[in-house]
Structure 1
Amino acid sequence: METYHQLVDFASKYKNIVVALGMFDGLHIGHQKIIRTAVERARSIHGSAFVFSFTNHPRAIVDSLGAPRRISSEQVSLRILRNLGVDVLVEIPFTHDFADTSPEEFIHLLYRHFSPRYIVVGENYTFGKKGAGTPQLLHDMGKRYTIETIVCSSVLYDGEPISSTRIRTYIEQGDITHVNELLGYPFTMIGTVIHGQARGRLLGFPTANIALRESYEILPNGVYAVTVVYHHRIYSAVANIGNNPTFGLCDRRMEVHIMDFDGDLYGKKILVSFHKRIRSETRFDSVEALISQIKSDKECAECVFQETFHLQEKISMVI
């Protein structure tokens, strides 16, 4: 997959372009439907599947309250887009000038830079100044440029459309089961292992410590059953997100105990996928009580993985 961060004359380099339009925050199963539709249509006409989006959330520019935190990091999003079969990702900054672009100007911009055969959007997609553009307008004006518009219906969950807002609510609640069902893949973070206080190793449970980026959505403090991908291998693990209250608090971070692994991960990137919340973070009165609880957490996580027969399939989207 090729990536661009500016608009160029794509039509001179790529033939039979199909463009999926949207913010695609989190790349949940509703977004995946739109992108898969674009990829399938591009393949059917021997063309190229594009995703055209923004590096920053438009609400950061047009909303006085600012933008919500992103659900997925750029690294996770790129992996998912590649696995969906996208040929080209075009992500540009959403600026004040772009926010003032009329719907008609935006459609002309699409024609000038992409000259697409098809444009694929969701039924609630809006574009142009103050979101005045609709899929119907895109369809009607697209005809002037011989562009066909495909509008994908929303994917429903419990009778309601899946949305990034719903997923953020589940993340804030620590409801990882619903988060993963709406995403269509496990909620995943990629981070570089940093030096900690080696306390986990002294307790008999060495951990990989990862600093948390507050610009992205983070699950509530607690203990989770996770998998870790490192050097193309998948490991079962237990992750604790929190401030280490038993030992006098620290900066909020994630500590991951990887089962059946013995190696030096300092400075290395690992991929952590969340599968189930085991418990809330707790302050223990003694080290012995903490060790006993960690053993129980490991047993609980192992039960989760024994029950998960399609683990490889579930995380293949982000590997």
Structure 2
Amino acid sequence: MKILGLHHVSALTANAAKNYDFYTRILGLRLIKKTVNQDDVSVYHLFYGDEQGTAGTELTFFEIPMAGRNRNGNNSISALSLRVPSDAALHYWKDRLDQHEVPHGELEDQTGRLTLSFEDFEGQRLILVSDEHNSGIRGGVHWDRSPVPAEFGIIGLGPARLTVPVAEHTVLILEKVLGFRYRTSYPSPVQGQPDVLVYEVGEGGTGGEVHVEERTDLPAERLGRGGVHHVAFRVETEAELREWVEKIRSLQMHNSGFVDRYYFRSLYFREPNGILFELATDGPGFATDEDLEHLGESLALPPFLEPRREAIEAHLKPLDTQL
């Protein structure tokens, strides 16, 4: 029973069309699945990733059209990271973000890696992180139809930042339950707050980290557009996931039990600071019901929703994702 690294991160948007435009046209990601939220089929669930939708490269969005703006705060996944191949790539991205009038910070060193923070059109907090010195989990495969050149393109998810009022409660779950290990720390960006703790899992590196930021000066987050719903970690097989279900139950942690998402199998639970964690299998994958060359071009529904296609499509605003 081993966690292999980050699997995906799921966030909220209020506008699927603008979201699709930003993450494909500006960030150069591939839309690997256009489907619906299986818990609320009236709204889209969009998946972006590398060429094949490899586990560890997936950034997903639930569309909630009437969602208010996220009120940033504690008990949250407060930033997402996206990996790029090199330091030179970050200089390219700084220029690209300027060209598209995307607000961003300055190039900064974080635990020996060059980073660049920015926000999308809804205030989603994102960080580009260089893989120049990464020796851990490998990145994904660049999509050959991306508008971003291969040598600069995004190749996967980087560290997720968890902002919590009591770091030791989250650390307990990371270390004692999920098998993360402490790697290092760095100063908080806020004077007077504890250092940010870096934990890694699996082969480590940029694709296997969470950063735990303790903040005693913030109210709890109110989740909305521009906020993050949950972070998922990789489990290799369904059999192993079922063992995790039993382990989490044995610890008397409230959880979802085994969930079949068709493209992967899942288990959801909340750690003590209220952040939603998911464990998800690497497969079957996103080419299960679509040809690899045409991922994301039409509305995909898992078999258990296919009989309801006509009613589902009638309630969705058309979203053109044809290339």
Whether these two folds match at TM > 0.5 is no
Query: 1 or 2, which has the higher strand percentage?
Result: 2
Give the structure with the higher percent helix. Answer: 1
Shorter-normalised TM range? under 0.3
TM-score of the pair, normalised by structure 1:
0.25
Structure of greater Rg? 1
Highest RCO, 1 vs 2 (Cα 8 Å, sep ≥ 6) = 2
